[in-house]
């Protein structure tokens, strides 16, 4: 087993939500739990999650590769994802991505030299009315991101990293 006992307990909670013949339904949750603990989804984690749920590894791999919230390569401690879907683009989503790239000195899918921040772009994050939208570590949504708000967000990330 690759994950902690606590991670498997969390996966068990997710599995309990579904009938025994629909364990596959917990795949996304299991991958989220594994990624939160390990930082990214390795091929070994795919195999382990599949074995634990009782489904073919290819079924887990399909989920891991389909959704862009799952990282199949190491990322920085903070993953900053910018929505570049049409509504956000129409409201400065690309400018937001460009500004972050310039501020961080990295391109999309790159990590800062200190390993702190990885910059990503994504499809719709479901907050079109609040665009441009940035998601930090798949859990913290930042909306209406002006350059000033981006600077504040980066400062908050740096403070959290030092704490």
Q: Is residue 1 predicted with pLDDT exceeding 80?
A: no
Buried b (16+ CB within 10 A) or exposed e, 63-88: bbeeeebbbeeebbbbbbbbbbbebb
With bands split at pLDDT 50, 70 and 90, how would you rate the model's confidence at 125?
confident
Mean pLDDT of 27-53: 97
Cβ 93 vs Cβ 134: under 8 Å: no
Task: Provide the pLDDT for residue 156.
Answer: 96
Could you report the per-residue pLDDT of 66-75, keeping only the tens digit for each? 988 899 999 9
Task: Provide the pLDDT for residue 123.
Answer: 85
Of 88, 93, 70, which Cα lies nearest the Cα of 126? 88
Q: Out of 10-19, 80-89, 123-132, give the one with best mean pLDDT.
A: 10-19
CA distance 61 to 13: 21
Task: Provide the pLDDT for residue 144.
Answer: 95
The helix (run of H) or strand (run of E) holding residue 148 is helix 147-162
Strands in 134-136's sheet, in edge-to-edge order, are 110-111, 117-122, 78-83, 134-136, 140-142
Q: Is residue 106 predicted with pLDDT exceeding 80?
A: yes
Count how many residues are written for the chain.
163
Mean pLDDT of the chain: 95
- Return the percentage of the chain with pLDDT > 90, whole number: 90
Task: Provide the pLDDT for residue 133.
Answer: 95
Prediction pTM value: 0.84
The residues that bridge with 111 in the sheet, in sequence order, are: 118
85: which residues sit within 8 A by CB, 6+ positions away?
93, 122, 123, 124, 125, 128
Mean pLDDT of 70-83: 96
Tokens matching residue 14: 């997710």
Task: Provide the pLDDT for residue 117.
Answer: 97
CA distance 32 to 34: 5
The residues that bridge with 80 in the sheet, in sequence order, are: 119, 136
Mean pLDDT of 111-130: 93
């Amino acid at each position: 087993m690759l994950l902690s006992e606590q991670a498997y307990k969390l996966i068990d909670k997710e599995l309990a939500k579904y009938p025994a013949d629909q364990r596959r339904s917990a795949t996304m949750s299991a991958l989220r739990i594994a990624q939160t603990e390990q930082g990214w989804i390795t091929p070994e984690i795919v195999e382990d999650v599949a074995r634990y749920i009782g489904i073919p590894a290819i079924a887990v791999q399909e989920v891991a590769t389909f959704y862009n919230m799952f990282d199949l390569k190491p990322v920085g401690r903070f993953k900053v994802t910018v929505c570049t879907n049409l509504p956000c683009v129409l409201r400065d989503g690309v400018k937001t991505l460009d500004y972050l790239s310039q501020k961080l000195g990295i391109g999309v899918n790159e990590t800062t030299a200190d390993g702190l921040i990885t910059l990503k772009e994504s499809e719709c994050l479901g907050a079109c009315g609040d665009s441009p939208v940035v998601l930090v570590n798949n859990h913290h949504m930042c909306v209406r991101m002006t350059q000033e708000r981006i600077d504040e967000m980066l400062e908050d990330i740096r403070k959290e990293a030092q704490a």
